[in-house]
Amino acid sequence: MNRFSEIQETLKEFNQSHLLAFWDELSESQQDQLLADIEKVNLTEISSAAEKLTSSYNPERKSIGPVPYEVLENLSERKILEYKQDGMDMIENGKVAAVLLAGGQGTRLGHDGPKGTYDIGLPGHESLFELQAKRLLQLYKQTDNMIPWYIMTSPINDEETRDFFQQHNYFGYNPDFITFFVQPTAPTLTPDGKLMLKTKSSLSLSPNGNGGVFSALKSSGALADMEKRGVKWIFMYNVDNAIIKIADPVFVGFADEKDSPIASKSAAKRNPQEKVGVFCLMDGKPSVIEYSEMTQEESEDPDMTNAHISIHLFKLDFIKEIANKPLPYHFAHKSIPTVDESGNEFKPTEPNGYKLEQFYFDLFPEAESIAVLQVPREKEFAPVKNKSGEDSPETARKAILSNE
């Protein structure tokens, strides 16, 4: 059986034959592109995602309880100094790597380009990337060791991100210690679970959410590179936190003493109704529960206060173990450019399909324990998400200037 017939049979089996609707109108190279796109899709995985999307299946609610945690501000000065010294030693000995999640665009900020290239309006006009490079250079001066920096881009912004670093001479950081890798994509689905075409000859694909980071670290060779360098702990964070303390030595020392596969920083919720994921134990296992999944009683529980702020340390050995474990898909209802029944390309004004996203914290239950350190939000967490108001460039600038 030739390649086309094989794919045709498989699509028929999974009820996705519509992808070949315009086959006879395509040139040979377009046909080749379409087959290549289809071959990259794990149809079994997508089929079960489509089933979840179109059915009213409601998994049984797991029992939820608070996670044990420590509060940084309650630790003695002596303990903090001890953690800091241990962390500094580990950085000095090359035991820490940094992974930056930078696949997003600055669209919501009115910025045309990767989010990390955004200038938040400081006197020195530093971009988010530059602020982070400065932080890493500061650690280099203190420890005489360069932390390897692994930057996850997306197919949308990979080239632009690399160019930006090159144009700015890597902000003075040694490029031998910077590795770019691209987050995987996932196909998009119609409300009735059909794969969507972007054009007659290509599938509609979008970045698969931050959950793709672990498999991408493995497939890109980054995990093997870390192992070769002798890394023990991977510090992972989001590009939009303007006051991130990358590889914070106190946090590294804390994580190493607790010796759990995962250590996470949290911040106390602003109020019980804050729309934020919260650290918890789900059936006794480390988890993050989304605010939309919590009952009112859980939201108001004073022990369920540890907001997930996307600052983590993972043991390299743990990541190696779970890198290829399958993650569930979450569905984001969006307006997705596609083709109509005649094959004309169009961009809808209303949501017409679902992007499939995976979240890395869905792998937290694989860890037997988690060490959570609650930190003061105003000193550690200033995300730049909105053009104005809360979590905006203005609030981030204030946080930076008040922490100087």
Neighbours of 39 (CB within 10 A): 12
Residue 55 confidence class, pLDDT cut points 50, 70, 90:
confident
Neighbours of 33 (CB within 10 A): 16
**DSSP for 7-22, written as a single string:** HHHHHHHTT-GGGGTT
Mean per-residue pLDDT over the chain, rounded: 96
- Please state the pTM of the whole predicted model: 0.94
pLDDT at residue number 57: 63
Q: Is 239 helix (H, G, I), strand (E, B) or coil?
A: coil
Domains of the chain, residue spans: 1-40, 73-403
Antiparallel, parallel or unpaired: β 262-268 and 370-374:
parallel
What are phi and psi for residue 155, nearest 5 degrees?
-55, -25
Q: Is the pLDDT of residue 168 over 70?
A: yes
Could you tell me the fold of the domain covering 73-403? Spore Coat Polysaccharide Biosynthesis Protein SpsA; Chain A (3.90.550)
Looking at the chain, how many residues does it have?
A: 404
* Cα distances (angstroms) measured from residue 338 to each of 23, 41, 46, 188, 251: 16, 18, 18, 10, 46
H helix runs in 126-277, sequence order: 128-143, 158-167, 213-219, 222-229, 249-258
Span 312-330, mean pLDDT? 96
Which distant-in-sequence residues (6+ apart) come within 8 Å of 166 by Cβ?
none
What are phi and psi for residue 192, nearest 5 degrees?
-100, 20
Residue type, 362: D
What's the angle, vertex CA 277, arms to CA 234 and CA 249, rounded to 5? 30
Residue type, 361: F
Closest CA to 38 of 15, 1, 9, 7: 7
In the chain the first and final C-alpha atoms are separated, in Å, by 67
What's the angle, vertex CA 86, arms to CA 257 and CA 251, rounded to 5? 65
Residue 227 confidence class, pLDDT cut points 50, 70, 90:
very high
State pLDDT tens for residues 136-165: 999 999 999 999 999 999 999 999 999 999
CA distance 137 to 329: 37
- Say how far residue 70 (Cα) sits from the centre of its chain: 25
State pLDDT tens for residues 266-307: 999 999 999 999 999 999 999 999 888 888 999 999 999 999
Residue 214 confidence class, pLDDT cut points 50, 70, 90:
very high
Q: Are 162 and 199 in contact (CB under 8 A)?
A: no
